[in-house]
Structure 1
């Protein structure tokens, strides 16, 4: 594969464990809002804080996530949300989900579930 290939470059960061799930968790909810690090960690379940911090930093570097830090209180509050680019990527991820439901995975509950309210 050509290391200059657009797909290869994109998959370098998207294929890392937890990356797509983090993006999806940031997208989920009634409205686009800031989510605290601890909230994301709780939603993710089995991700270590170290890996979550690494992935969020990588996603921020790619321009998919914005981080804001409030150091005026203790503990320091670190919050994240998707950028416009990150939101658009989530739409592509949802298309992959629909492809999987059509061709690979039989999951009636997921088929009718609103992804923004998904609790799986």
Structure 2
């Protein structure tokens, strides 16, 4: 909970899960997450990497070097937990036609 409970952490994991392209650059994450500050995004990415939930791939053949982040097996497993929480919420706590679809356009879960 020290990591997952922090603001933006789940949003970052879901953003890395979304779409066909599973690797995302810092600025792409920043743009898609909207109001997150660069400092907080950097801190959360560092924490998630230290916890083994994401990996950072650095391509030093470009100038400047290109860094991309992606979910590890641990991170992908945690997304399954988020999906389970969503299913529980749909069953017991809220009605949302968009979220009742197999994959919701808002969270891709």
Aligned residue runs from structure 1 range 28-107, under 5 A: 28-30=18-20, 33-107=22-96
The superposition leaves residues 10-54 of structure 1 with CA deviations (integer Å, 9 ceiling, x where unpaired) of x111100000110011011125x2111111111111111110010
5+ long unaligned stretches in structure 2: none
Matched, 1:111 2:100: yes
Q: Which has the higher helix share?
A: 1
Root mean square deviation, CA, Å: 1.6
User: How far 1:72 sits from its partner (Å)?
Assistant: 3.5
Q: Distance in 1 between matches of 2:64 and 2:31?
A: 17
Query: C-alpha displacement at 1:74, in angstroms?
Result: 3.4
- How much does 1:98 deviate? 1.0
Unaligned segments of structure 1, at least 5 residues: 1-10
- The Cα of 1:119 is off from its aligned counterpart by 3.9
Aligned length: 107
Could you tell me how far apart the structure 1 residues matched to 2:88 and 2:76 are?
Answer: 19
Structure with higher Rg: it is: 1
Tell me how far apart the structure 2 counterparts of residues 76 and 48 of structure 1 sit (CA, whole Å).
22
